[in-house]
Amino acid sequence: VLHPFCLLHPLPPNHGLLLYQDYVKNSGRGVTVGPILGKDGRSDIFCDNENGPNFLFKNNGDGRFTDVAAESGVSDAYQHGRGVMLTDFDGNGKLDIVYGNWNGPHRIFLQTEDDEGQPRFRNIATDQFAEPSPVRTVIAADFNNDGNLKILLNNIAYRGPAPNRLYQVTYGANGQDPFVEELAIGDALEAGGHGTGGAVVDFDGDGRLELFLSHGESGEQPLSVYRLHSEKVFSDISWLRVRVLTRYGAPARGAKVALHTVLRKHSRVIDAGSGYLCQMEPVAHFGLGNDTPTRLEVLWPDTNFKIIDLKDTDANSVITINHPDNDVAATTNNSS
């Protein structure tokens, strides 16, 4: 695991595989890894920091990284970052960054590019979403499988109640920005919760994500597990889950999975660090709504690439994608 403010450096003689060297003094909080900037799949590193600007380390492809946070528009130098996650909110295939700032404005950075094709980020957080809170974990996931991502802001009761908040990011057609609106969060409100971390996972294999929240630090509290309210479960809503493996059969953390459907494109990263003090399951989960899957594109951190054509019957299933070096066809576990 890389420390938030360390870089890989060329190895001097008689040293081991990796050499850690302090990069700056300020305190890293949230760290996430994925192919944020390049198109070859190599992993970049984003760190949101406290008492200093964020880092966005671009992978140079030679074992070195260059911090491009300032020119990319994500330095946020005067805030104090906490939970962070990578996903694609607007369906353009580029990875966006969402994170919370401790008692500061929360951010939803959409990735675009300038006239020279260089990555640039633009904050689309509404005033309501940005409203400061003592945030810890940030999770982006499609809990009800309608095809629109939700963002959970998990707070810690700090000098008073601090309820959790849930937002929906609705896909904007014809190049329009996504629409961000607050949703009723239900039992997961936890106004007095001492939230320290959280994760989403499909515990029971029904294709719907459960929410797992941890508590502590300033007060002992039990773990919480929440599932989608039965009134929000609809039989005509579909989903797809994708497991991507390395050549050794392990989860390919940092791999990018793009799902093409009849209506649009969705992108996810096999989670390699997110939230705050936590990490999500190594599965790309897609809510389809009433849409139909047509094709998967998988990009590994080692730059390997694979395309898998899908059928209508692949909806409501878990698909395992093996590394190209294994040369084994994708396997499907259909749960419909």
Question: What phi and psi values does residue 228 have, to the nearest 5 degrees?
Answer: -60, 135
Listing from the earlier edge strand, what are the strands of the sheet with 305-309? 265-269, 256-261, 293-299, 305-309
Among 132-146, 208-222, 298-312, the least confident range: 208-222
Residue 194 amino acid letter: H
Percent of the chain topping pLDDT 70: 88
User: Which band of pLDDT confidence, cut at 50, 70 and 90, is reported for residue 7?
Assistant: very low
Q: Which residue has the higher pLDDT, 332 or 322?
A: 322
Q: Which residue has the higher pLDDT, 71 or 30?
A: 71
Identify the pLDDT of residue 28: 60
Identify the pLDDT of residue 39: 92
Give mean pLDDT, residues 278-293: 95
State the Cα–Cα distance between residues 149 and 167, nearest whole angstrom: 8
Pair of tokens at residue 150: 């939700």
Give mean pLDDT, residues 137-161: 95
27-58 pLDDT per residue, tens: 567 899 999 999 999 999 999 999 899 999 99
Identify the pLDDT of residue 3: 39
121-142 pLDDT per residue, tens: 999 999 999 999 999 999 999 9
| The model's pTM | 0.89
State the Cα–Cα distance between residues 273 and 8, nearest whole angstrom: 18
State the Cα–Cα distance between residues 278 and 243, nearest whole angstrom: 19
User: Which band of pLDDT confidence, cut at 50, 70 and 90, is reported for residue 26?
Assistant: low
State the Cα–Cα distance between residues 268 and 234, nearest whole angstrom: 24
Identify the pLDDT of residue 275: 74
Among 93-97, 132-136, 151-155, 225-229, the least confident range: 225-229
Identify the pLDDT of residue 210: 96
User: Which band of pLDDT confidence, cut at 50, 70 and 90, is reported for residue 214?
Assistant: very high
Q: Between β-strands 238-244 and 317-321, what pairing exists: parallel, antiparallel or unpaired?
A: parallel
Among 67-71, 235-239, 315-319, the least confident range: 235-239
Residue 94 amino acid letter: K
Nearest CA among 270, 268, 296 for reference residue 283: 270
Percent of the chain topping pLDDT 90: 76
Identify the pLDDT of residue 230: 74
User: Which band of pLDDT confidence, cut at 50, 70 and 90, is reported for residue 25?
Assistant: low
Identify the pLDDT of residue 333: 72
Give mean pLDDT, residues 258-284: 91
